[in-house]
Amino acid sequence: MASSRDRQRKLARAKLDRQMARRAAAEQRRRRIRAGLGASLAVVLIAVGAVWLFGGFSGDDRDTASAQEQCTWTPQDASANTNLKDVGTPPTKDLPTRGTRLMTVITPGGDLTVELDVEPSVCGTASLAYLAEKNFYDNTKCHELTDKYLRCGDPSGTGQGGPTYSIFGENVPAAPEPSASANPAPPGEAQYPKGTVALVASTPGSFGSQFLIFHQDLAVAEPAYTIVGRLLGGQAVLDKIVKAGTVADGAGAKVKPAKDVVVTNIRIDEARTASPAPSAPAGATPSATAQS
């Protein structure tokens, strides 16, 4: 007959065997789960690779998504700024994201034609087109002329006017690299070459309807204007405006064009993917090849 001690040993052994069996079963289940997860991950990776291979992540899809989410029109308070004009807001979806649009600024002295570059300034060009469609610019005056640019697009003529929404700058050139010395870096190459057309903010960072047409190169230490295009035609019209000079405005600053520059209307064509035949920017010096 087995002693009490032997029975205790057998019971302990049996208990240990049961624990080991449970641990083995648990480990086996974990291995099956890991194997299943690995197989599922492999299937997902294969599916993603197939989508990528057949163009599922093409640039056009990204462009459409970004266009639908990209343009946010920030409300501006017309009660706080009576120079603002309410014409609603542009759409936020299905906006052109590629190509160019031809903007024609019609004045009694002749037309200024501008090629708007859509891709780097989707929201800026969409805003200009919307405002033109709403006749926002009709019979407004270009209110400022400096030694570098002509400023237009403010119905109030004060420099503080615009629509009751604003956008952030999309295509503001980079600032020059900082100087190693204590002195600030010189502006260097012009960020706004002659012929550039850019939006200008009535308040820092808030761009609306106002735009600049540069009749001379401008290099600055801190660029603040968002580029939307370049002058294609009407350089002679712009030169005539500049030649007429300036007179003092209501604040006494000699920046008002001496002869009124009235924008009768602005017309902006639909976006096109092919640019016009290559040509030098308006006012550029022809190359030696072109002169020969």
Q: Say if residue 45 is in the same domain as residue 94.
A: no
| pLDDT value for 213 | 98
How many domains, the chain?
2
Tokens 């016009």 belong to which residue? 276
Q: Say if residue 248 is in the same domain as residue 213.
A: yes
The C-alpha R_g of the chain, in whole angstroms, comes to: 33
**Residue range 211-252, pLDDT digits in tens:** 999 999 999 999 999 999 999 999 999 999 999 999 999 889
Across the chain, which has 292 residues, the per-10-residue mean pLDDT values are 57 56 59 59 52 50 48 94 96 93 98 98 97 98 98 96 94 83 64 97 88 97 96 98 95 94 97 63 43 36
Query: Other C-beta atoms within 10 Å of 167: how many?
Result: 24
Residue 64, domain member (yes or no): no
| pLDDT value for 189 | 86
Residue 211 makes CB contacts below 8 A (sequence gap 6+) with 128, 151, 152, 153, 197, 198, 199, 200, 228
3-class state of residue 60 by DSSP: helix
The DSSP line for 137-182 is: TTTEE--EE-SSEEEE--TTSSSS-EESEEB--SSPPPPPPPPSSS
**Residue range 172-187, pLDDT digits in tens:** 999 887 766 655 555 5
| pLDDT value for 55 | 53
CA distance 97 to 235: 28
Could you give the C-alpha distances from 28 to 25, 38, 39, in angstroms and in order? Answer: 5, 15, 17
Q: Say if residue 24 is in the same domain as residue 96.
A: no
3-class state of residue 226 by DSSP: strand
Q: Say if residue 39 is in the same domain as residue 83.
A: no
92 CB-contact burial (10 Å; exposed 0-12 / middle 13-18 / buried 19+): middle
| pLDDT value for 218 | 97
Q: Which two tokens stand for residue 54?
A: 């057949």
Query: Other C-beta atoms within 10 Å of 19: how many?
Result: 10
Residue 65, domain member (yes or no): no
Q: Which two tokens stand for residue 285?
A: 């010096």
| pLDDT value for 62 | 42
| pLDDT value for 147 | 97
Residue 267, domain member (yes or no): yes
Q: Say if residue 79 is in the same domain as residue 160.
A: yes
7 CB-contact burial (10 Å; exposed 0-12 / middle 13-18 / buried 19+): exposed
Residue 278, domain member (yes or no): yes
Provide the b/e sequence for 176-199 (b: ≥16 CB within 10 Å): beeeeeeeeeeeeebbbbbbbbbb
CA distance 180 to 185: 8
CATH code where residue 247 lies: 2.40.100.10
List the domain range (segments joined by +) for residue 111: 74-178+185-282
Q: Say if residue 34 is in the same domain as residue 150.
A: no
Q: Say if residue 34 is in the same domain as residue 151.
A: no
CA distance 179 to 3: 94
